[in-house]
Amino acid sequence: MPTTTPTRAPTLRLGKWIHAALLLFHAATPTLCDSLFLLNAVPQNVNDFYQELRERAAPCPHSLAGGFYNIDNGTNTTSYCANDPHRPSIIYLSGVNGTLSNMDIDCDGVQGGSQDDGRCSLGRSPDYQDATAFQDIVQSYGVGISDLNTYIHPYVVFGNSGSKPGWKTFDPTDYGVKPLSVMAVVCPGNKMVYGIWGDTNGDDGDKPMVGEVSIALATACWGKNMTGDNGYDGMDLLYVAFTGIDAVPGKDGADWAAKDYDTFERSIQPLGNKLVQRITAGAGGRRVTSSWAVAGGVLAGGLWLAL
């Protein structure tokens, strides 16, 4: 008797396809013991600007201060740059020959809580301070926290202070950047994190350094291999600060008392989405358009989720 194809074969094929898709999703998604860190889609205008900087050989055309280091054994070719030297709306870090900045880990401020897994403990951070630069402002909000928590708040260390002879300094407030204002950090791999300006670089080291962030922000970009003594040395991260009081979420514009990174990040997303519209390509070189940015979604566990 001739054989016939079972009618359930399409169902079996569909089942195999679903199984394969689930395996792919599982491979791209953190395990249950990991936090599903929220990332933002990189808008096309931000991607164009990022690509422009990566292809620019010359220093930034509007340098506000230069002579800073990304790594101890590197060169002091990183500058604080502006889109306009007189009335800047953004200030960013940039080097030469397409370099931007690296990412070191700052453990300053409050530790502890459910997110503290020891990666930023005192013994792992060589320059730990028990307070951030704007602790008094955080306390003035009266929201139940005494300072920023490196495991929860995605803060950026921006600006340089110090009194050593010949020490390079830069105060972002001189150009309109306000403490605890929202910043944008573009990480390689189509990733963008909204953070806040939460600390400054001091003169406790041998050289004036830049490119430091909280463990929460570093984990969002690179995962839990980031620790207080293990950062990322690639010179391809973009840090952007925004000037003006409208970049400050204030007491009620952010969930300062959040118990985890994702909750805090979501609370500053609306303001961050508004601020990044200021970023435009063409100010410092040829306008470049790339296809890797995807707007209108978030990247979670390595997969784009449309909003």
Indicate the residue type of 228. Answer: G
Residue carrying the six token digits 């220093």: 59
Give the mean pLDDT of 22-27.
35
For residue 127, what pLDDT band results from cuts at 50, 70 and 90?
low
Residue 2 gets which letter from DSSP? -
Question: Model-level pTM?
Answer: 0.81
Q: What percent of the chain has pLDDT over 70?
A: 78
Give the mean pLDDT of 129-157.
96
Question: 29 or 205: whose pLDDT is higher?
Answer: 205
Please give the pLDDT value at position 163: 96
- C-alpha 165/C-alpha 248 separation (Å) is 33
Whether 269 contacts 41, CB under 8 Å:
no
Does position 166 have pLDDT exceeding 90, yes or no? yes
pLDDT, tens only, 29-56: 333 334 446 788 899 999 999 999 999 9
Does position 26 have pLDDT exceeding 80, yes or no? no
The tokens of 57 are what?
A: 């050989």
Whether 144 contacts 110, CB under 8 Å:
no
Closest CA to 102 of 81, 120, 78, 123: 78
Does position 79 have pLDDT exceeding 60, yes or no? yes
The three-point CA angle 128-152-135 to 5° equals 55
pLDDT, tens only, 245-293: 999 999 999 999 999 999 999 999 999 999 999 999 875 444 433 333 3
Q: What secondary structure does DSSP assign to 254-299, as a single string?
A: S-TT-SSHHHHHHHHHHHHHHHGGG--SSSSS-----S----SEEE
Write the secondary structure of 26-69 as one string of H (helix), E (strand) and C (coil): HHHCCCCCCCCCCEECCCHHHHHHHHHHHCCCCCCCCEEEEEEE
